[in-house]
Structure 1
Amino acid sequence: MQKGTGRNIFVAATYAATLLLGLILGQNYVDQQSNNPGSSLIPIGLSDNSYKMQQVLDLLSNSYVDSLNIDSLQNGAINHIIAHLDPYSSYLLPNESQAQSEALEGTFEGIGLEFFNLNDTLMVVGVMANGPAEKAGLKVGDRILRIDSTLVSGRNIAQKVVDRLMRGKKGSMVKLYINRDTVISNKVFKVMRDQINVSSIDVSYMIQPSVGYIKIRRFGLKTAEDFKHQIKELKKQGARNLILDLRDNGGGYFHVAIRLASEFFKDKKLMVYTEGAHENRREYYSEGDGNYTEGKLVVLINESTASASEIVAGAVQDWDRGTIVGRRSFGKGIVQEQFDFSDGSRVNLSISRYYTPLGRSIQRKYTANWSNMIDYAGMYKGLWALDTTYANAQMFKTMAGRELFSGGGVSPDVKMSIDSNSLSLLYQNIVKSSYLEQFVYERFTKQLPAYSIDNFLQGYHLPQQEYDRFILFLNSKGISVSERKKRDLMELIRSDMEAIVGRYYFGREAYFKVKNRYDDFISRAIEILVPSS
């Protein structure tokens, strides 16, 4: 190790130790559950070295050879500490903290517009119903030329820049200049920014005459409330069975997951309990008298189902309330609390582990990947190695006699095989490149379809010649697709393209309805809920 590098690490560690003390002694505690107002941080004892750290800070500020950015050093020091605790504790800068809050709370101040950068032109691909953009007259298909005085057409402008231009304080105005139907509009679209509410429920609809379907992307502040509303609507439409899709749901608010799980139980039952080194055992029960306590239930999970969504799946499984279908979930069984600093930054700190009603811990094993410390520039990326194997640990039995095991995520009752095509590097590269959207928006957005959404969902299929053209399009972009891969990926890519067409013309709901037509998980769930005679 070079002398200079070692000194830099010492400086970072010095700041880290000092700032940890400040975090523990001076931080305001935010109780997510709002039911433990007496909670406080556990103080640690002071030592002579604690004051020594402050002396070092003063020394650096007053005597160091170069000017120091104290804020930057402090942020780096806190991040250094938090990143070495466990895979889930994290330190967020003010802008990262705000983005996390907006995602979980489902609110931000803007105009309610989705766009896609098509050939360096911002194309409107989604307009929120009754949102500011729709009220101002903007439509799907509009091309944005300028935002206020900033030219955005013909430039490879970053999305974060566009977001900054579009968003702003509620009540403020943004002016948009557009091209509609290849004609440059002389009209300036004046859009008054407002609070935008985005539901964490992707879609809710009757997938079969007696089967309702709800897909949740995360557990945000209003998820349980929205779910309760959707359940009531589905029951009015004749839903006697339910598919709850928690695939790719990475979690969210702990207490919201408990409230949502409560909807499946008529009596008060233990949903989950938590324990930690500084947290006594706390038990969380269903509220009782849920809105969906009788009908059949299937919960879909996969390897990206994590945290709060695993709480729901675990409670349903432990109480024999429904059938878990899919693949073993991620295995994140640690609860974080938010500790906010006055400057808007935040520490998400792991404070306890959670256990399913039977006492199962579904946390995957994790170890520090110290070999990564050689690369100081990216030392926090991939610091933690997570165990991908599944070894049966302690065995538990449900009241119905099912054998369940702790450790390594929630193992489904009905296991689904992995689609190797969806995991192939070629397909992943195609998806990440956004060439699917680019091809669809260039070829299928010239005029509105002459059919309804129901006709589209029942009868529209991408013509074979269009799929062939897309493969040629990929080749022209430097992505080579062999004849074998062309055959292997055809069903998957065609469903993606059909779903994008559906979303463009009929909205977000159509996207999921189209994808579900080809989904083996959905087919298996329906077989369980409505067995053929």
Structure 2
Amino acid sequence: MQKGTKKNIFIAATYAVVLLLGILLGQNYVDEQGGKPGNSLMPIGLSNTSWKLQQLIDLISSSYVDSLNMDSVQNGAINHIISHLDPYSSYLVPNESQRQTELLEGTFEGIGMEYFNLNDTLIIVSLINGGPADRAGFRVGDKLIKIGDKQVAGVQISREEVETLIRGRSGTELDVRIKRHDVNDIMAIKVVRDQVTVSSLDVVYMIKPTVGYVKVRRFGMSTGDDFKHAIVELKKQGASRLILDLRDNGGGYFHMAIKLASEFFNDRRLVVYTEGAHEQRQDYFSEEQGSFSDGELAILINENTASASEILAGAIQDWDRGVIIGRRSYGKGIVQEQFGFSDGSTVNLSIARYFTPLGRSIQKKYSPNWSNMVDYNTMYKGLWMLDTLYAHGKEFKTMAGRQVYSGGGILPDIHIQQDANSLSLFYQDLIRYSFIEQFVYSRFTQKLPAYSIENFLQGYHLPDNEYDAFIEFVRSEDFIISERNKNDLKTLIEADIEALVGRYYFGREAYFKVKNRNDSFVNTAIEFLERETNR
């Protein structure tokens, strides 16, 4: 591939970040990273090294004893090859590729609601403002009884089945039966599917009188415009300092990382460069006159901050533009490009490594883990083993004299210790089995709150009897919790419950405002920005 012909280069993470709860109906509520197809793979003849593979496929197709689904055979062969390249290259069948593209582009055809499955009852827990479901008259708290002709209440049903029922072409109608808590009879609502747009920013608000807060969910097609609009609004409210939260942001489009980095510089700066065995070095520069090129900046990262997020954090750190706060980032420094087959399937192929302006590679080590070769079904799952230990690689110095390193991930300027309680096996089980969500949606959804959002955000704290009720609920599910665990986890679990209650009653913004009240990352950033201002 010649220089200049690449399109839609993106960074793809190897894991998915589950956002809050369940599934956004019409959109899988899981952040997978990817991009839309840029280059197409067309048959161009067989090389000396590829003829055997094609000949084998032809032989099996024409001579094998049993009838086979040759698409499955070819998909298996492709997956086998891709699995041996690196941890990040992947093969996506058409529906997976489409879903990945929709997630990053931030648009999908559906109705725009999120539900939680509570004891085989689907409860609406969130609606996209102005989306089809919102316009049609659905409310948070409604219980779904039937979708089309399919009974969904009181039966076991997978999210894939629900997604199939919900999704459809824009303009098509969908009949839904619901039960509303203050209405005796089953209600029928007709909703027209439409193109739904989801912002790539989780939340934007003033966290202090002169400090704005922006949390970026992923680097999607609209992230640059979303962010620029957010800065305009924050500046109108007096923001001269900014906290940019990139925690749990697994990446996205490569060029969006560059575009977002441009917003923090007022001149042309090298943001990142790429280089590979078949790719000559290519430099990528910021645009001039960024929308937040002067104010104090703090960026929050953690161990799930990856790819495009690390490009942005690395550029800010190398140029001494802001402070990086948190924990060492994931360490994915490989550029991928998406190549499309004619049937809609795609290959996300690693084509180069990227480097920060000072020349740091943040890719952590990886090697094949052949011990996973157990049987046919699992032999290629988790093939790659990643080195999670940070090793100081080559040392670099910024213009301000700060020492930074290669060696895997971005090492923050200010380190935040991991909360040992959040790592406890018991707490992880609570998250895995959605006990906090089950408790909130069974206990707090029966009636509307008797207070305003302002009162809730400023003064609401979970009463002790509610925490005791949660512990009894968990124990009723045959989970053993000691008095020590109960006391150690009290603050952490109460904060989770309070945030989820806020989200259910008042929406996504309330969730993050409540979570950030006692967040050590956020509070450290606020303290740093206040110190810098007072110097």
| Cα drift, residue 68 of structure 1 | 1.7
Contact kept, 8 Å, 2:40 with 2:339, in 1: the verdict is: no
Task: Identify the residue that residue 447 of structure 2 maps to in structure 1.
Answer: 447
Deviation at 1:380, TM superposition (A): 2.2
Aligned pairs (5 A) from 1:277-296: 277-296=277-296
Q: Which runs of structure 2 are paired with 1:122-137 in the superposition (5 Å)?
A: 122-137=122-137
Question: Residue 477 of structure 1 aligns with which residue?
Answer: 477
Deviations 1:133-155 (A, max 9, x none): 11111111111111111111111
Please state if 1:31 is matched with 2:7. Answer: yes
TM-score (norm 2): 0.91
Deviation at 1:167, TM superposition (A): 1.3
Q: Secondary structure at the match of 1:191?
A: strand
2:111 match: 111
State the AA in 2 paired with 1:375. D
Q: Distance in 2 between matches of 1:439 and 1:48?
A: 62
- 8 Å contact kept, 1:140–1:504: yes
Q: Which has the higher contact order (CA 8 A, sep 6+)?
A: 2
Q: Deviations over 1:27-81 (max 9, x none)?
A: xx861159xxx99999999655644444333322222111121100000000001
CA distance in 2, matches of 1:77, 1:43: 17
Matches within 5 A, 1:303-382: 303-382=303-382
Q: How does 1:491-502 map to 2 (within 5 A)?
A: 491-502=491-502
Separation (CA, whole Å) in 1 of partners of 2:159 and 2:299: 35
Contact 1:178 1:184 in 2 (8 A): no
Q: Quick check: 1:241–1:295 contact (8 Å CA) kept in 2?
A: yes
- SS of the residue 2:427 aligns to: helix
Higher helix share: 1
Contact 1:30-1:338 within 8 A present in 2 as well: no
1:432 partnered with 2:432: yes
Q: Hey, what's the Cα distance between the residues in 1 that align with 2:523 and 2:218?
A: 23
Counting aligned pairs with the same residue, the percent is: 64
Task: Mark the CA change 1:477 to 1:45 in structure 2 (over 3 Å): closer, same or farther.
Answer: same
- Matched ranges for 1:496-511 at <5 A: 496-511=496-511
Distance in 2 (CA, whole Å) between partners of 1:33 and 1:363 is 18
Query: CA distance change for structure 1 residues 73 and 30 in 2, over 3 Å: closer, same or farther?
Result: farther
Residue 465 of structure 2 is matched in structure 1 by 465
Cα 1:53–1:79 shift into 2, 3 Å: closer
**SS of match in other structure, 1:331:** coil
**Alpha-carbon distance in structure 2 between the residues aligned to 1:44 and 1:271:** 36
The Cα offsets for residues 260-293 of structure 1, whole Å up to 9 and x where unpaired, read as 0100000000000000011100000000100001
For structure 1, which segment, 217-226 or 156-165, has the greater mean C-alpha deviation from structure 2 after superposition?
Answer: 156-165
Greater shift, 207-216 or 153-162, is seen at 153-162
Say if 1:145 and 1:152, in contact at 8 Å, map to a contact too.
yes
Distance 1:417 1:49 in 2: 51
Deviations 1:427-480 (A, max 9, x none): 111012111111111111222112211110000000001101101110111221
- Count of aligned residue pairs for this structure pair: 503
C-alpha change, 1:279 and 1:491, in structure 2 (3 Å) is same
CA distance in 2, matches of 1:47, 1:233: 56
CA distance in 2 between counterparts of 1:126 and 1:185 reads 22
Q: Secondary structure at the match of 2:431?
A: helix
Report Cα offsets for 1:76-101 as digits up to 9, x if no partner.
00000111100000001111111111
Aligned mates of 1:215, 1:48 — CA distance in 2: 50
Task: Provide the rounded CA distance (Å) in 1 between the counterparts of 2:462 and 2:167.
Answer: 36
Q: Which has the larger displacement, 357-366 or 50-59?
A: 50-59
Deviation at 1:107, TM superposition (A): 0.8
Q: 1:481-533, CA deviations, whole angstroms, 9 ceiling, x for partnerless residues?
A: 11000011111100000011100110011111100011001110000001297
CA shift, 1:391, in A, is: 1.3
Q: Which residue of 2 aligns with 1:11?
A: none
Structure 1 residue 212: Cα displacement:
0.3
Equivalent runs, 1:37-436 vs 2, <5 Å:
48=48, 50-181=50-181, 183-185=183-185, 187-436=187-436
CA–CA distance in 2 between the matches of 1:149 and 1:30? 46
- 3-state DSSP class of the match of 2:174? strand
In 2: Cα distance, 1:49 partner to 1:116 partner: 51
Change beyond 3 A, Cα 1:121–1:41: closer
Give per-residue Cα distances to partners, 1:160-190, cap 9 Å, x unaligned.
1111111111000100111112534454200
Contact 1:178 1:185 in 2 (8 A): no
Secondary structure of the 1:215 match is strand
C-alpha distance in 1 between matches for 2:340 and 2:524: 44
1:177–1:185 contact (8 Å) kept in structure 2: no
Aligned AA (1:315): A
CA distance 1:42–1:387, shift in 2 (3 Å):
farther
TM superposition score normalised by structure 1:
0.91
Question: CA-atom RMSD, angstroms?
Answer: 2.0
SS of the residue aligned with 2:377?
helix
Any idea what SS the aligned residue of 2:252 has?
Answer: coil
Q: Give yes or no for contact 2:9–2:336 (8 Å, CA) kept in 1.
A: no
What are structure 1's unaligned runs of at least 5 residues? Answer: 1-23
CA contact (8 A) 2:40 2:340 kept: no
CA gap 1:301/1:48 in 2 versus in 1, 3 angstroms? closer
In 2, are the aligned partners of 1:113 and 1:127 still within 8 Å (CA)?
A: yes
- The secondary structure found in structure 1 opposite 2:95 is helix
CA–CA separation in structure 2 for the residues paired with 1:344 and 1:110: 20
Distance 1:57 1:119, change over 3 A: closer
CA contact (8 A) 2:180 2:187 kept: no
The unaligned stretches of length 5 or more in structure 2 are 11-37
Q: Which residue of 1 aligns with 2:490?
A: 490
Contact 1:30–1:340 under 8 Å retained in 2: no
If you compute each CA radius of gyration, which structure gives the higher value, 1 or 2?
A: 1
4+ residue runs over 2 A deviation: 38-59, 182-187
Report the secondary structure of 1:376's partner residue: coil
- Residues 183 and 47 of structure 1: is their aligned pair in 2 closer, same or farther, counting only changes over 3 Å? closer
State the match for 1:12 in structure 2: none
Aligned residue for 1:247, secondary structure, equals coil
Alignment check: 8 A CA contact 2:299 2:322 kept: yes
Corresponding letter in the other structure for 2:248: D
1:329 aligned partner, one-letter code: S
Alpha-carbon distance between aligned partners in 2 of 1:48 and 1:288, rounded to the nearest angstrom: 49
